[in-house]
Amino acid sequence: MVQNAVVKKQVRQGVVEVSLLRQMECGLHCDGACAGCGQKPTEEILALAEDPIGARPGEFVEVSPSGGGNISTSVIVFLLPCVGLVLGYLFGQAVLGLGEAMALLPALAGVVLGFVPAFLLNRAILARRAPEFQILRRLR
């Protein structure tokens, strides 16, 4: 999904910090003339973006999310806890011989174990601090 953003600062060579603009009815194409605009978002959403065009702070740019890794991340975050739930429940009933209610305890443990890879992936992504977006072009 292509979004509009304002370049805030250069983080390192080829990477800038951008403030993502929420999509509004007016498109925020007011050139700053409507300082009292009630549509303007009050909080900033900051993200890192690859900068192949050499954008400068204060410029309006069009950004697109960096591709790759979305499917594997979704599998880790959503599918593994579900698999852990089912395997934990089956393990509780078939191997441990627990009843339906008591088999929920190993199922709960399976869900928790399913979230461990998601937690570790989140820590790795935050530590890497890779750009989440790529600048496509200048808008103004």
pLDDT, tens only, 2-55? 888 899 999 888 899 999 876 554 554 555 555 556 555 566 788 889 989 989
Does one domain contain both 103 and 84?
A: yes
Give the Cα-Cα-Cα angle 105, 71, 43 (nearest 5 degrees): 90
Q: Say whether both 23 and 11 belong to one domain.
A: yes
Number of domains forming the structure of the chain? 2
Query: Does 103 lie in the same domain as 56?
Result: no
Mean pLDDT of 72-88: 89
pLDDT digits (tens, 9 = 90+) for 92-122: 999 999 998 999 999 999 999 999 998 898 7
CA distance between the termini of the chain: 20
Lowest-pLDDT choice from 59-63, 124-128, 130-134: 124-128
Residues 20 and 62 in one domain: yes
Write out the H or E segment, with its range, that includes residue 88: helix 80-90
Give yes or no for a contact between 135 and 6, defined as CB atoms under 8 angstroms apart.
Answer: no
| pTM assigned to the model | 0.54
In this structure, the answer to whether residues 85 and 96 fall within a common structural domain is yes
Residue type, position 124, single letter = A
Cβ neighbour number for residue 75 with a 10 Å cutoff: 13
Which of the pair, 132 or 36, is modelled with greater confidence?
Answer: 132
Same domain, 60 and 74: no
How many alpha carbons lie under 13 Å from residue 20 in its C-beta half-sphere? 16
For residue 60, give the nearest of 126, 8, 100 by alpha carbon: 8
If asked whether residues 8 and 64 sit together in one domain, one would say yes
